[in-house]
Amino acid sequence: MKQIRLPVLLLFLLAGCATRSHLYWNVRELVLVPEPTIALTAPGERLILSVNKQTIQKVFLSHLRITRAAKVQADLLLVDGEDPNAFAALVNGRRVIAINAAMARLVGDDVDEFAALLGHETAHWAKGHVDARKTRANGIQAAGTLVGVGLGMAGVPGAGYISGFGADLIEASYSRDDEREADAFGVEYMTAAGFDAGATV
């Protein structure tokens, strides 16, 4: 038990700083959790997000269908965060689409709304909006799975740790044209994937 205390303490210190750092969970792993409700926790058992496993499975399926429609490959992550946000970024050279905890809480169990979000972020990838800012996005680093984080609940995979970015800054750095294009193609992808585009509003 003693060995895990130090990294957890370090994490607390880092999280307390003004540095923009986030815990993350790969949705691909969360869909395998046996529990009907998944509790994502930070060190000290602080609850980041409690999600319905069925919703998470449907969201992951939407992600697979939407990225296939857009001919894009990306990992889907849940990250911690207080202000509702979603973003597309390169993390350790891998394409990532992330939804933060505040946004997931806001959307709740509305899978169409999740699909609208995923369509928009997937379009940022498909239309090359992220690649254009590669140099900056490459600053994002992910640490491996942290021992002692999220392991309190049966079967819930441990969180990883991302630093070097602000989710708000990533989304704010797209041009208005990029956003319009992401909205338009996002609707196209989610419709192609079989979702109700009315949820985009």
Applying CB under 5 A, the residues found at the interface with Zn ion are 179, 182
Nearer to Zn ion, 24 or 87 (CB): 87
Please give the torsion angle defined by the CA atoms of residues 148, 45, 56 and 52, in that order, rounded to the nearest 10 degrees.
140
The CB-nearest residue to Zn ion is 182
Nearer to Zn ion, 33 or 140 (CB): 140
**CA-to-CA dists, residue 153 to 15, 39, 45, 143, 187, angstroms:** 22, 7, 9, 21, 37
Nearer to Zn ion, 65 or 120 (CB): 120
Residue 117 Cβ, how far from Zn ion at the closest point, in Å?
10
Q: How far apart are CA 67 and CA 101, in angstroms?
A: 21
Q: Which amino acid is at 198?
A: G
Residue 108 Cβ, how far from Zn ion at the closest point, in Å?
21
Nearer to Zn ion, 38 or 129 (CB): 129
Q: Which helix (H) or strand (E) holds 26?
A: strand 21-26
Nearer to Zn ion, 142 or 182 (CB): 182
Residue 52 Cβ, how far from Zn ion at the closest point, in Å?
26
Residue 168 Cβ, how far from Zn ion at the closest point, in Å?
12
Residue 118 Cβ, how far from Zn ion at the closest point, in Å?
12
Residue 14 Cβ, how far from Zn ion at the closest point, in Å?
28
- Other beta carbons within 10 Å of 35: 11
Q: According to the 3-state scheme, what is the secondary structure of 82-140?
A: CCCCEEEEEECCEEEEEEEHHHHHHHCCCHHHHHHHHHHHHHHHHCCCCHHHHHHHCCC
DSSP for 39-75 reads EEEEGGGEEEEEEEHHHHHHHHHHHHHHHHHHT---E
Nearer to Zn ion, 94 or 180 (CB): 180
